[in-house]
Copies of this chain bind each other. A is one copy, B any other.
Amino acid sequence: MDDPVLLTGAGGRVGQAILSRLADEYDWRLLDREPIPEERRHGVPESASFVADVTDDAAVADAVAGCGAVIHLAGDPRPDAPWDSVLANNIDGTQTVFSAAVDAGVEKVAFASSNHAVGAYETDERTPEMYRADDDYRLDGEELPRPSNLYGVSKASGETLGRYYHDHADLDVVCVRIGNLTEGHPPREYERGQAMWLSHRDCAHLFDRCLAADYGYEIVYGISDNDRKYYSIERAKEVLGYDPQDNSAEYTFEGEPKNDPATE
Those of A139-168 within 8 Å (CB) of chain B: 142, 144-147, 149-150, 152-153, 156-157, 160-161, 163-164, 167-168
- Given A91-B91, A120-B168: A153 in contact with B144 (beta carbons within 8 A): no
- Number of this chain's copies in the assembly equals 2
Chain B residues with Cβ below 8 Å from A150 are: 95, 164
- Given A87-B87, A153-B157, A168-B120: A163 in contact with B142 (beta carbons within 8 A): no
A153 in contact with B147 (CB, 8 Å): no
- Looking at the assembled complex, report how far the CB atom of A79 sits from the nearest CB atom of chain B, in whole angstroms: 13
- Looking at the assembled complex, report how far the CB atom of A135 sits from the nearest CB atom of chain B, in whole angstroms: 21
28 residue pairs A–B, Cβ–Cβ below 8 Å: A83-B95, A83-B99, A87-B87, A87-B91, A87-B92, A91-B157, A95-B150, A120-B163, A120-B164, A120-B168, A142-B144, A144-B163, A144-B219, A145-B163, A146-B163, A146-B164, A146-B167, A147-B163, A147-B164, A149-B164, A150-B164, A153-B157, A153-B160, A153-B164, A156-B157, A156-B160, A157-B157, A157-B160
